Amino acid sequence: MGGGGSMGGGDKMGGGDMGKMGGKMGKMGKPKADKSSSTGHVAPAAPAQSGPAVVHASTSCKSGAGVCQDISKSSCSGGHYESGFCPGASNIKCCISDSTPTPPPSSSGGDLTLNQLIAVMPGVSSSKASQYLPYLNSAMRSGGITTRRRQCAFLAQVGHESGSLRYMEEIASGAAYEGRRDLGNTQPGDGVRYKGRGPIQITGRANYQAAGQALGLDLINNPTQAATPQVGFRLAVWFWNSRGLNSYADQGTQSAFDTITRRINGGTNGKSDRDSRWALCKRTLGA
């Protein structure tokens, strides 16, 4: 990161989403056969002349966890009724088995707000957060980083690497990377030219070349654009997905987050700060 130390090693820099119930919960009366039909098919019962249409047990609740029933004509045996998941009048409710938990709220995170970004990036200025926010949200959407778990894992790592978005370019000169063939630095001056840039501090000729090809950018001849928010956040998401890190973020465990750290850093440098940022983001966003 801007403070140095984590961007030159390991995998990173070496190129190196309630299912429906299994069975139906009890049938409400079977429709009678239409005797005038020669086909033998069962025809639905004629609708009542007044009042709401009958909702049959085969109508699944919008929650996906039960069936819609008319509570004046049926009982929810072995379960309980919940409102708001069925079409029709107020007497049509969803019968949910007590053995099937109600599905949790959607984990889709949506875009970050300015206040949320400031809260999860301690020390970032309001003006800089406001400048970066649209580029960050756009990049996360494009890379499928759209659930709170994914967002928090990503933001914790990016926050560490960039010092809460204060450093979009490594403070050190990059000379320490000179001759690092594991980074693809084979030409004189590659260390300085391809030093850590962007919110995830992408480093080395090999990474600049691969990212440029993936994003349609000439980063070999114009490496400094990696430090701009327009490009930097796209690079960070490219790097994240090129290492398959969403699958680990989805697990939401410390072990999986540690794997993310190793795949970004090549080790566990800054683990305490990364973990603290992850915990802060989860508290802030409700992950």
pLDDT tens profile 187-243: 999 999 999 999 999 999 999 999 999 999 999 999 999 999 999 999 999 999 999
Q: What is the pLDDT of residue 110?
A: 87
Query: Rounded to an integer, what distance in angstroms lies between the CA atom of residue 276 and that of residue 154?
Result: 13
Q: What is the pLDDT of residue 133?
A: 97
Q: What is the pLDDT of residue 6?
A: 42
CA dihedral 174, 133, 105, 91 (to 10 degrees): -170
Query: Rounded to an integer, what distance in angstroms lies between the CA atom of residue 257 and that of residue 7?
Result: 18
Q: What is the pLDDT of residue 203?
A: 95
Sign of CA dihedral 144, 241, 151, 219: negative
Query: 79 forms bridges with which residues in the sheet?
Result: 97
What is the tens place of the pLDDT at every residue in 25-74? Answer: 333 333 434 433 333 443 344 443 333 333 333 466 654 456 777 777 67
CB 192 within 8 A of CB 172: no
Greater pLDDT, 54 or 159: 159
Residues 6+ apart with CB under 8 A from 90: 83
Q: What is the pLDDT of residue 235?
A: 96
Q: What is the pLDDT of residue 88?
A: 72
Residue 170 annotated among the catalytic residues of the structure: no
Please compute the mean of the pLDDT values over residues 133-150 and round it to a whole number.
96
| Of the listed ranges 72-76, 179-183, 246-250, 251-255, the one predicted with least confidence | 72-76
Instruction: List domains and CATH numbers for the chain.
Output: 10-14+107-285 (1.10.530.10), 66-97 (no CATH)
φ and ψ at residue 278, rounded to 5 degrees: -60, -45
pLDDT tier for residue 107 given thresholds of 50, 70 and 90: low
DSSP symbol at 87: S
pTM of the model: 0.64
Q: Of the residues 82, 161, 170, 178, which is catalytic?
A: 161
What is the tens place of the pLDDT at every residue in 261-287? Answer: 999 988 999 999 999 999 999 999 988
| CA–centroid distance for 256 within its chain | 15
Within 13 Å and on the Cβ side, how many CA atoms surround 61?
A: 28
CA dihedral 197, 168, 120, 262 (to 10 degrees): 20
Average pLDDT in the chain:
78
Task: Name, of 21-35, 52-66, 83-97, 170-184, the range with top average pLDDT.
Answer: 170-184
Please compute the mean of the pLDDT values over residues 155-183 and round it to a whole number.
96
Query: Rounded to an integer, what distance in angstroms lies between the CA atom of residue 182 and that of residue 212?
Result: 18
DSSP code string of 103-150: PPPP-B--PPPHHHHHHHSTT--HHHHHHHHHHHHHHHHHTT--BHHH
Query: Rounded to an integer, what distance in angstroms lies between the CA atom of residue 1 and that of residue 198?
Result: 9
Q: What is the pLDDT of residue 117?
A: 97
Q: What is the pLDDT of residue 131?
A: 97
Counting residues of the chain whose pLDDT is more than 90, the rounded percentage is 60
